[in-house]
Amino acid sequence: GNSVTQMEGPVTLSEEAFLTINCTYTATGYPSLFWYVQYPGEGLQLLLKATKADDKGSNKGFEATYRKETTSFHLEKGSVQVSDSAVYFCALSARGNQFYFGTGTSLTVIP
């Protein structure tokens, strides 16, 4: 079956620290992979995506690389800001474009 496992939170970092949020997946076939972000009081927003192995998605300083050999799609950012405080969800899209989400990782960045 299809599933996504995300790093447990919450994560608290100081401003300008390096961020890694781990995500691994199980899928039949070759899924597309996504990171969504949910800011406080707002809906889910697409952060970045990758559709095939070795693709790197990037947006707003965040990056993630689709690693087929390790079935991973870890989210990274070199220097976080207070405005990055949110809940981050890793997701995969399987056949028929049905999405499967991880449980989410809450990030708090302190000044």
Residues of the shown chain interacting with other proteins in the complex, contacts defined by CB under 8 A: 4, 6, 32, 34, 36, 42-46, 49, 51, 89, 91, 93, 95-104
Sheet strands (E) in 31-74: 32-38, 44-50, 56-59, 62-65
Residue with tokens 């990037």: 58
By C-beta, is 74 or 102 nearer to other proteins?
102
By C-beta, is 18 or 39 nearer to other proteins?
39
By C-beta, is 89 or 109 nearer to other proteins?
89
By C-beta, is 96 or 111 nearer to other proteins?
96
**d(C-alpha 106, C-alpha 108), whole Å:** 7
Residues 6+ away with beta carbon under 8 Å from 53: 30, 66, 67, 68
Q: Name the minimum Å distance from CB 15 to other proteins.
A: 26
Q: Name the minimum Å distance from CB 84 to other proteins.
A: 19
Q: Name the minimum Å distance from CB 46 to other proteins.
A: 5
Residue 9 DSSP symbol: S
Q: Note whether 49 and 56 are within 8 A (CB).
A: no
Q: Name the minimum Å distance from CB 14 to other proteins.
A: 25
Instruction: Supply 14's token pair.
Output: 């100081």
